[in-house]
Amino acid sequence: MDATLREGEQTPGVSFTIDQKLEIAKKLDEMGVHMIEAGHPAVAPDVFEAVRRIAWMKKEGEIRAEIIAHSRAVKSDIDKAAETEADRIAIFYGVSDIHLRAKHRKTREEALSIIGEMVEYAKSYGVKVRFTAEDASRADLEYLEQVVKTARDAGADRVSLADTVGVLTPWTAQKFFEHMVKAVPNVEYDIHAHNDLGMALANAFGAVMGGATAVHVTVNGLGERVGIVPLQLFAVAVKVHFDVELVNLSKIMEITRLVERYSGIEVPYNMPVIGDYAFLHKAGVHVAGILADPRTYEPFPPEMIGRSRDYVIDKYTGKKAVKAKLEKLGIRVDDDTLMKILEEIKKSNLRVLTDDTLISIAEKVTGKSLRPKATENIEAIAWIKVDSNVFTSSVARKISMIDGVREIAEVTGDYDLMVRIEAPDHKVLNTILDSIRGIKGIQSTHTQIVLKKMDKSAP
Ligand code: COA
Ligand code: ZN
């Protein structure tokens, strides 16, 4: 059950446009997600509109997944949710004593009748109803049983037990669900696991082992505070441990990037599975291992999710890694030279050695020119500072008329403009740069040659 559009939009700083939500919903559906929680229609007009349009896409047969509208246990929220014509209304209510007292100011008995009444009210619209027991993991267990019975008897076919502040552990999650499945049968259970202690994914597994049949996830793990279970990690872990492909794994990086872009929240480098470093090896012993057999240091092949492996070169590198890297760059050296190059690398103390620096070191050691001749298709970026009394846009317009200029962007920081240039060779590139420098109002320029297009997985 993907909640990127509802829970995910509760991440600080995140607000998707309606079009972005439609696109994300479509992608999630293509991947094979079974249910999509599209939003809480009572929150704002655009949230309502997005849920309505996603529900329409479902009706038109453009989406297969079940579409869910979120709602508080109040009639006005339920009315709005029903108006979207979503397949299911999910009603939430805090059921721990903390939530009952502080938030709802209701007794346990009052809460039971509200829950029963509101589930029935939603059912009267002829839709499926899920009841979410918010803060279920901190609720009194016997009371929780009454809550779930009440929701079930009022017509809810699913009940989500929320670990709202992420305090379950994998084993307590399993026991918790085992207990509830037995104590209150004839209803399907969801796990909604928050990641406050970094346990959400493991707790979701515990819950599934205990009998939960739906796991709430979001793309990139977005959600309130530090979020919930990341869709990609759950899907890959299920594949690795149970050899079950819940969603199309080859689409995982596509949806990662899409949601990074639309949410403005970048996945950390060291995020499992989807982070830039997930298949980037470093220490010499490790790289020697993966060169011999990647299974030595990878739990599953990156190709499984359409990614590839690589390794970095720095002072932690060994001979085998350098040799392989040089060969990749078309440079073959004897063992003596290799040792000397490795010594230079160890002395250089650079954080990361780029291919270019490695070639320079190899050239220094061998005394030979090893660089392939750049004869065609040079790409360069020119950073431009504009005089303070000149309009940046007028300078940009003049630059855009120069042949070879492919892209201009206004930037903030030390420079005002970034210009991407393509030239057939160095001579032409210099001519283009001279033309740019000749434009009035340019204070300074700084040019960088793009040696190789960066793959996102390379630092
Ligand atoms: N069922 C019924 N009422 C609930 C509830 C629930 N599950 N959860 C909270 N409430 C009540 C609170 O008791 C409080 O009521 P009060 O004003 O009588 O004290 C109110 O909802 C929440 O306070 P507030 O946010 O100030 O109310 P509001 O009327 O201005 O706004 C929303 C309500 C829902 C429109 C607004 O909070 C919002 O846009 N929220 C975003 C969605 C959200 O919070 N989702 C939580 C998902 S877990
Ligand atoms: Zn949540």
Shortest-distance Cα residue to atom 37 of ligand 1: 43
Residue of 78, 101, 104, 160 with the most ligand 1 atoms within 8 Å of its CB, for mutation:
104
- Distance separating alpha carbons of residues 322 and 325, to the nearest angstrom: 5
The three state secondary structure string of 339-396 is: HHHHHHHHHHCCCCCCHHHHHHHHHHHHCCCCCCCCCCCEEEEEEEEECCCCCHHHHH
Catalytic-role residue among 34, 104, 179, 286:
286
The alpha carbon of 16 and the centre of ligand 2 are apart by a number of angstroms equal to 17
Q: Given a cut of 70, is residue 454 above it in pLDDT?
A: no
Residue of 37, 103, 121, 164 with the most ligand 1 atoms within 8 Å of its CB, for mutation:
103
For the CA atoms of 27, 30, 34, 35, the dihedral, rounded to the nearest 10 degrees, stands at 30
For the CA atoms of 29, 455, 268, 241, the dihedral, rounded to the nearest 10 degrees, stands at 60
The alpha carbon of 142 and the centre of ligand 2 are apart by a number of angstroms equal to 23
Q: Which domains does the chain have, with CATH numbers?
A: 8-263 (3.20.20.70), 280-366 (4.10.430.20), 378-449 (3.30.70.920)
- pLDDT value at residue 293: 97
The alpha carbon of 328 and the centre of ligand 2 are apart by a number of angstroms equal to 47
Ligand 1, closest atom to CA 93? 7
Instruction: Give the DSSP H/E element, type plus range, for residue 435.
Output: helix 426-437
- Reported as a pLDDT band with limits 50, 70 and 90, residue 452 is low
Does residue 382 contact residue 436 with C-beta atoms inside 8 Å?
yes
Least confident range of 7-11, 252-256, 341-345, 349-353: 349-353
- pLDDT value at residue 374: 54
Ligand 1, closest atom to CA 40? 42
- Distance separating alpha carbons of residues 151 and 155, to the nearest angstrom: 6
Ligand 1, closest atom to CA 134? 48
Shortest-distance Cα residue to atom 2 of ligand 1: 73
Q: Given a cut of 80, is residue 441 above it in pLDDT?
A: yes
Which ligand is nearest to the Cα of residue 3, counting in written order? 2
Count how many Cα atoms sit within 13 Å of the Cα of residue 36 in the half-sphere of its side chain. 31
DSSP 266: P
Shortest-distance Cα residue to atom 28 of ligand 1: 43
- Looking at residue 35, its amino acid is M
Which ligand is nearest to the Cα of residue 162, counting in written order? 2
Measured from CB, residues less than 6 Å from any atom of ligand 1 are 40, 42-43, 72-74, 92-93, 103-104
- Distance separating alpha carbons of residues 117 and 408, to the nearest angstrom: 60
The alpha carbon of 252 and the centre of ligand 1 are apart by a number of angstroms equal to 34
The alpha carbon of 430 and the centre of ligand 1 are apart by a number of angstroms equal to 62
Q: What is the mean pLDDT of residues 363-372?
A: 89
- pLDDT value at residue 265: 96
For the CA atoms of 181, 183, 185, 191, the dihedral, rounded to the nearest 10 degrees, stands at -30
- Name the 3-class secondary structure at 316: coil
Q: Given a cut of 70, is residue 456 above it in pLDDT?
A: no
- Reported as a pLDDT band with limits 50, 70 and 90, residue 440 is confident
- Distance separating alpha carbons of residues 289 and 245, to the nearest angstrom: 28
Conformational region of residue 129, where left means phi above 0, alpha means psi within -120 to 50, and beta covers everything else: beta
- pLDDT value at residue 77: 98
- Reported as a pLDDT band with limits 50, 70 and 90, residue 459 is very low
Q: Given a cut of 60, is residue 375 above it in pLDDT?
A: no
Least confident range of 15-19, 226-230, 327-331, 447-451: 447-451
Residues 6+ apart with CB under 8 A from 370: 331, 359, 362, 363
First to last CA, the chain: 33
Q: Given a cut of 80, is residue 336 above it in pLDDT?
A: yes
- Reported as a pLDDT band with limits 50, 70 and 90, residue 352 is confident
- As a whole number, the mean pLDDT across the chain is 94
Which ligand is nearest to the Cα of residue 223, counting in written order? 2
- pLDDT value at residue 458: 40
Does residue 82 contact residue 68 with C-beta atoms inside 8 Å?
no
Q: What is the value of pTM for the model shown?
A: 0.83
Is residue 216 annotated as a catalytic residue, yes or no? no
List the structure tokens of 52.
């309505």
Q: Given a cut of 50, is residue 425 above it in pLDDT?
A: yes
Q: What is the mean pLDDT of residues 155-160?
A: 98
